[in-house]
Chain A
Amino acid sequence: MVMVMGNDDKTMTVDEARALLAPYADGLLDQAMAKEVEAVLARVPELQAEFKTMKEENELLSAALAPLRPTQSTRMRVSEVMLDTYKRAEEADHALLDQKSRMIKIVMLVLVLGMCFILGAALLYTGVKNRQQPKPKPAVEKKEPPPSSAPIKELE
């Protein structure tokens, strides 16, 4: 293991620098850490070669994926079509909602009319039935003798 000799214990070793090489190549290290890696890189040619390969790999990978990146005009066109699609979907939703509320109103109306019809029919039926039934004879009331105004003579 190649060690970078420093005056204090905080000096980065080659292995530590190697472990940080990938994030360094991707530009993910903070400035202080990047400087430490650079210091080791400047001293160790072996690490420089590894770093160079890593950079080339990253660039190739990025270039290989380039055809997937849309052009600015494609983005603009897509965003316009998206907006159009969104608006049409919104309109369709509103239309569906209107249709639904219309349907609900119609169903309610039909229900109310139906209930009115049933109620009317029931009333009519009751009325007809009442008319058809013979009237019961009024019960003869037992007439009680009217209270005599004359005082009852006491039997003597």
Chain B
Amino acid sequence: MSEPESDEDLVTRAQAGEKAAFERLVQKYYEVVVTAAYTVLANVDAAKDCAQDALMEAAQNLAKLRDKNKFDRWIYGIARNKAKYYLQRQHLHSEAMKVKTDESRRLKPVASPSEQLSKNEQLDSIRRALSEVPEIYREVLVLKYIDQRSHEDIARLLDISLAAVDKRLMRGKAMLRESLGRWKGEN
């Protein structure tokens, strides 16, 4: 059985221009990058665009990365900064974004089965509720449930203790339930 590849090894190989190493890094960390973006932006489409930009920026600066073992934190930081930049830009164009969002809402498929529609609405309401949860709790929730990342991984990535991860998860879920209750109440 082959040993799991360390980040140090993958980054070294990527810096040598090995295609497979890039594929493995993307396989391992795409969700982390998307999570960082989604935590700040709280919007699926914007987070996906931002994640791709962040990955390109990481590729541009990969040669400068010295502490290869901290690749996960490094790329998470890049994605967060990129997302903050997106958010600033978004604020500048907030009116335009509002129009766009309204249009995309109107373009929802109306011919889908009612059950599917209600499921979609349910998921949509969870995402909206999630956007109301404060960032520090949201990032732990997303990291946990986007690809079942372990608590140890989350703790390492965010540079916090395991107990803090557990606490934030619990608090985050409680807040999410509260937000969901509010959404349901409004609907």
Contacts and interface: CB of A to CB of B under 8 A. Distances in A.
Contacts of B14: 86
Interface residues of B, number: 46
A39 interface: no
A68 B22 contact: no
Interface string A1-27: 000000000000000000000110011
Interface centre among B23, B145, B170 (most CB of A within 10 A): B145
Contact of A86 (B47, B60, B146, B176): B60
B56 A81 contact: yes
Contacts of B146: 62, 65, 68-69
Contacts of A79: 19, 22-23, 25-26
Nearest to A62: B145
Interface of A: 22-23, 26-28, 57-58, 60-65, 67-70, 75-76, 78-83, 85-87, 89-90, 93
Contacts of A69: 31, 34, 146-147
Contacts of B47: 68
Given A22-B169, A82-B56, 4 more contacts: A60-B123, A67-B44, A75-B23, A79-B25
Given A78-B30, A93-B63, A86 B123 contact: no
Contacts of A27: 148
Nearest to A92: B60
Contacts of B35: 68
B58 interface: yes
Q: Is the interface of A mostly helix, strand, loop or mixed?
A: helix
Nearest to A67: B44
Interface of B: 14, 17, 19, 22-23, 25-27, 30-31, 34-35, 38, 44, 47-48, 52, 55-56, 58-63, 122-124, 126-127, 130, 141-142, 144-148, 150-151, 166, 169-170, 173, 176-177
Q: Is the interface of B mostly helix, strand, loop or mixed?
A: helix
A63 B31 CA distance: 14
Contacts of A57: 173, 177
B60 A78 contact: no
Contacts of B30: 70, 75, 78
B34 A68 contact: yes
Nearest to B176: A61
Contacts of B63: 86, 89-90, 93
Contacts of B147: 69
Given A79-B25, A83-B19, A86-B62, A70 B55 contact: no
6 contacts: A22-B170, A62-B148, A68-B48, A69-B34, A89-B63, A90-B17
A27 B150 CA distance: 10
A79 B170 CA distance: 35
Contacts of A70: 30, 34, 48
